[in-house]
Structure 1
Amino acid sequence: MYFPYFVVYIAVGLAISVAAFAWAMANGQFQDQQRARFLPLRGEADGPPPKATPFGRWEIFGLFFLAVAGLGASAAVLAYALYFSK
């Protein structure tokens, strides 16, 4: 039966989502809502885009690794549930 495995999987995902939302609220990510509605209407650019730094590259690799690890964990949970569902 798949049910216990998916309940744990959903609970972990929900806990991570709530933690990310709490972090965003604590760091003021949602404070300036009035300014956000006018951002698409701005015509001029702020300036040239920032150059890539070695830290930025490592950050991209880290995020890619986390995405691949998450997909791998999802596949592992699904394979485990299918294998032991007899």
Structure 2
Amino acid sequence: MHPALAENIATAKVGTNMTFLLTEFGKPFTANGFGNKFKDWCRQADLPHGSAHGIRKATSTALAEAGATTHEIMAITGH
């Protein structure tokens, strides 16, 4: 886990919103909103065909090729 994320989780107050990716308005993304924002980030990074789904699929493939079990892949990718 990235150290900054670990620190945020460790210092989060119990009972507060545990959303870590927020819109520019400080609100949690909707599923569609996150997908659209991710595409924007990909375009900014000169990856015009990038998408959240594509990254998830590539991650699943890489995990499978590295020997991860189906259940491990499901746990990591949120399936």
> In which range does the TM-score fall when normalised by the shorter chain?
0.3 to 0.5
More helix by share: 1
TM-score, normalization by structure 1: 0.35
Pick the structure with greater CA Rg.
1
Bigger relative contact order (CA 8 A; separation at least 6):
1
